[in-house]
Amino acid sequence: MTEPSKTPTTSWTPRIVAFFCNWCTYTAADLAGVSRMKHASNVRIIRLMCSGRVDPQFVLDALAKGADGVLIGGCHPNDCHYAEGNYKCLRRYELLQRMLADMGIESDRLRLEWISAAEGEKVKRVINEMVETVTRLGPLGIPQKFDAWDREMEDFAERIAAREAAAGGHAGHGTEPQTMEPAHV
């Protein structure tokens, strides 16, 4: 299986999904906008009522559907509108970091920041840093990897079927060789 190039090309720009809590980080992003602060435009912000509502599946789905990085923004500790939502977010973030490491995905592709409603300048800085970091890492390319993974599984299934046929078909429970479905949906 060939790995996509980690060297950024001039025609490629990273796609980043940001999950921002409504009460602090999203409000700070709005402040940055009305204050005409310039930040990278290739970040798509999704507003959630609380960073504690960021389900790990949201992050995995974003990466599986073509995002090169994910940014999560929430209220500072002890300042959550929902009392403990940001602590729940922190636990999920740490879980996601371990999962992504197990999947071979660089930890810098996922970032968590505490940003209050008054920190428009911080939103600008964090977004620009995230884009710079992911640009340096290069494309993640998970959707393109699905084809290679599917071919790998098809080859594996063919080798098993050939081995069962060579053994006289007695290795399996049925007479038909088993085929494997692609792992993704």
Tell whether 131 and 182 lie within a shared domain.
no
Residue range 15-61, pLDDT digits in tens: 999 999 999 999 999 999 999 999 999 999 999 999 999 999 999 99
| Cα 127 to Cα 12: distance, rounded to the nearest angstrom | 17
Domain residue limits at 48: 16-140
Residue range 144-171, pLDDT digits in tens: 888 888 888 999 999 999 999 998 765 5
Name beta bridge partners: 72: 19, 112
- Token pair in block for residue 176: 């038909």
Tell whether 162 and 125 lie within a shared domain.
no
Q: Is residue 118 over pLDDT 80?
A: yes
1 in a domain, yes or no? no
Produce one character per residue of 59-73: b if its CB has 16 or more CB atoms within 10 Å, e if not.
bbebbbeebbbbbbb
Q: Output the domain CATH number for residue 98.
A: 3.40.50.960
Tell whether 127 and 161 lie within a shared domain.
no
Task: Count up the domains in the chain and report the number.
Answer: 2
